[in-house]
Structure 1
Amino acid sequence: MIELKDISKIYKTKNGEITAVKDVSLSINKGEIFGIIGYSGAGKSTMIRLLNGLEKPTTGTVEVNGQQISSITGTQLRQARQKISMIFQHFNLLWSRTVADNIAFPLEIAGVPKAERVTRVKELIDLVGLTGRENAYPSQLSGGQKQRVGIARALANNPEVLLCDEATSALDPETTDAILELLLDINKRLGLTIVLITHEMHVIRKICRRVAVMEAGRVVESGDVLDVFQNPQAEITKNFVMQVSGTRESKESIEQILVNYPTGKIVKLTFIGNKTEQPVISQIIKEFNVEVNIVHGNITQTTSGPYGTLIVQIDGKPNQVEEAFKLLESREIQAEVIDHV
């Protein structure tokens, strides 16, 4: 559906060249929700502008649904953009227009007859849960309602791709979850391909199947969300995973345990899928006569299933501790010994 091949984007400024994106190659499947995550300055916003043709790559190609977005121009590009819609962090609504008129705006530009516009707008208002707010103005809406208008407007021309540029960053956590659930529902109903740009791992784990992690213009890691959660490779990815696994908050507890129990091992256990429901801790205590002190635990739900982490202190005779590790390995539970914080 979307293919980026060896993409680089270099901006020329009076102070020299700035490389915003460097040597990026990605494949995004039709109908999937794909996340691109990175901190400010990572190149995420440039990436999204490359996807909809607002920027041309310095090198490489961008293909969306069989069309070379990176090379077409004029009428051909405008027609292609009608199938690539976008929603924004700060909504970008027309403040002098009602909800219905905001949603109708792209249909007007496309020359859709009024009767068809009215029907389509009603369908979209129902779809995004704004029934009864048709005649309200943006100033009369909450942040979540404004974003729902933005989503409805983006869907007006039946796009094939929906680009979301930090679409939930201006919202509170509860409203963020509601908007993500709406995007998930739209994806399932319409089979829409959705690309999410964000700096929040919560957004990725909530609705994305696959993710690419960006740093300094490069994709440093990519793959299925569960795989990335279970075995992050890059340091920046580990930091993002900590956002939702809660292990960062356990740092002081780990330090104290390392001081109080110098003979034991501090172990981070990682579970995925139905392994999160296995009573392995009680089993290793019973079978191997070891002491287990739970320091921190967390289970996170992803679209591919649950992901859990448990930090424990295990103490006992060396051979018994070793046998406990073998049991964990046999259950496909990842065990990482932490010897410093």
Structure 2
Amino acid sequence: MITMHQLSKIFRTPDQDIAAVDTLDLSINEGEIFGIIGYSGAGKSTLVRLLNMLEQPTAGQVTVGDKNMSELKGRELRKARQEISMIFQHFNLLWSRTVKDNIAFPLEIAGMSKQEKDSRVNELIDLVGLTGRGDAYPSQLSGGQKQRVGIARALANNPKVLLCDEATSALDPKTTDAILELLTDINKKLGLTIVLITHEMHVIRKICHRVAVMEEGRIVEQGNVLEVFRYPQEDMTKEFVKQITEPEETMDAVYELIDDENGPVVKLRFVGEDAEQPVMTELVRHCGVGVNILQGKLSKTQHGSYGTLFVQLQGDDEHLKEALRFLEEHRVKAEVLQHD
């Protein structure tokens, strides 16, 4: 659906040339939710603007569907952009217009008749969960409702691709989850390809099928979200995965509990179906060890579950060795933690 080949964007200044996007290759499949994650300055926002040619590439090409966006000009480019919509961190609504009028704006530009326009606007209001709020102004809406208006407006012309540039960064966690659920629902109902730019691994974990990690203008790692969670290769990826699996406050609390006299503290990782099996019950039953559960978390991804559990194992050396072998045989990755 979307292909980037040797894509580069260099910003030239009097002092230096800055490669915001550096000879990047990436493919995104039709109908998938693809996440691009990176810290500020990684080049994410520049990349997403290259997809709809709001930024012209210095080199390389972008193909969306069967169109080479890099070669389009004028009317052809404007027509191609109608199939690529975008939502933003700060909503970009027209504050003097009602919800209905905000959503209708791209339909007015497209020259749609009033009857068709009104029907389409009402359909979109229902789709994004704003029934009854059509006559409200943006100042009368919550942050989540404003983003729902932004999503409805982006869908007005039946695009094939939806670009989301930090679309949940200005929202609280509960509202973020509600918007992510809405995007998932839209993806399933409309078969829409969604490209989601973020610096939050929670957003990736919640709805994305695949993810690419971006650093200094390059893609340093990519893959199925669950596999990236399971086997992060790059240091940058490991940092992002820890946002979900090993929050700093969790690790501080766990390290305070390390006490060799009471048995080793072990970090266990469960992936996919293994995360939902009664492995710990079987461990106690078969290996004769005591298990003191210290901390645990189970996260859902689009491709399965990912669980992290911190336990203290109690027993003699032979039983402890047997327990670690048992965990390995049951595809549970076990790491005995030590004080730094």
Normalising by structure 2, we get a TM-score of 0.95
Distance 1:279 1:135 in 2: 53
Distance 1:334 1:42 in 2: 31
Distance 2:204 2:194 in 1: 12
Q: Does 1:269 align with 2:268?
A: yes
CA displacement, residues 265-320 of structure 1 (integer Å, 9 cap, x when unaligned): 43221112221232222322332233433332111112222210012233544443
Say what the alpha-carbon RMSD is for the aligned residues.
1.7
**What is the DSSP-based 3-state SS (H/G/I as helix, E as strand, rest coil) of the residue aligned with 1:56?**
coil
- Is the 1:2–1:63 contact (alpha carbons within 8 Å) kept by the matching residues of 2? yes
Report what 2:194 is aligned to.
Answer: 194
Name the aligned partner's letter for residue 238 of structure 2: K
Distance 1:90 1:141 in 2: 13
Report what 1:95 is aligned to.
Answer: 95
The residue correspondences of 1:38-187 to structure 2 (distance < 5 A) are: 38-187=38-187
Q: Does 1:301 align with 2:300?
A: yes
Distance 1:324 1:33 in 2: 39
CA displacement, residues 311-333 of structure 1 (integer Å, 9 cap, x when unaligned): 22335444433332222122111
Pairwise CA distance, 1:131:
1.5
CA displacement, residues 49-85 of structure 1 (integer Å, 9 cap, x when unaligned): 0111111222221111111112222111111100000
- Is the 1:246–1:298 contact (alpha carbons within 8 Å) kept by the matching residues of 2? no
**What is the DSSP-based 3-state SS (H/G/I as helix, E as strand, rest coil) of the residue aligned with 1:9?**
strand
* CA shift in 2, pair 1:136/1:247, >3 Å: closer
Distance 2:252 2:128 in 1: 44
Distance 2:62 2:261 in 1: 55
- Is the 1:37–1:200 contact (alpha carbons within 8 Å) kept by the matching residues of 2? yes
- Is the 1:106–1:156 contact (alpha carbons within 8 Å) kept by the matching residues of 2? yes
**What is the DSSP-based 3-state SS (H/G/I as helix, E as strand, rest coil) of the residue aligned with 1:168?**
coil
**What is the DSSP-based 3-state SS (H/G/I as helix, E as strand, rest coil) of the residue aligned with 1:70?**
helix
Distance 1:200 1:24 in 2: 22
* CA shift in 2, pair 1:169/1:69, >3 Å: same
Report what 1:25 is aligned to.
Answer: 25
Report what 1:322 is aligned to.
Answer: 321
Distance 2:254 2:176 in 1: 32
**What is the DSSP-based 3-state SS (H/G/I as helix, E as strand, rest coil) of the residue aligned with 1:41?**
coil
Pairwise CA distance, 1:39:
1.1
Structure 2 runs not aligned, ≥5 long? none
Pairwise CA distance, 1:163:
0.3
Distance 1:140 1:18 in 2: 41
CA displacement, residues 179-219 of structure 1 (integer Å, 9 cap, x when unaligned): 11111111111000000101111111111111111112111
Distance 1:213 1:199 in 2: 10
Report what 1:213 is aligned to.
Answer: 213
The residue correspondences of 1:201-280 to structure 2 (distance < 5 A) are: 201-258=201-258, 260-261=259-260, 264-280=263-279
Pairwise CA distance, 1:177:
1.1
Q: Does 1:289 align with 2:284?
A: no
Distance 1:50 1:203 in 2: 22
Structure 1 runs not aligned, ≥5 long? none
The number of residue pairs the alignment matches comes to 340
Pairwise CA distance, 1:336:
2.6
Distance 1:195 1:106 in 2: 21
Report what 2:312 is aligned to.
Answer: 313
- Calculate percent identity across the aligned residue pairs: 63
CA displacement, residues 85-140 of structure 1 (integer Å, 9 cap, x when unaligned): 00011010111111111111111111112221111111111111112111111111
Q: More displaced, 260-269 or 136-145?
A: 260-269
CA displacement, residues 141-196 of structure 1 (integer Å, 9 cap, x when unaligned): 11111111111110010000000011111111111111111111111110000001
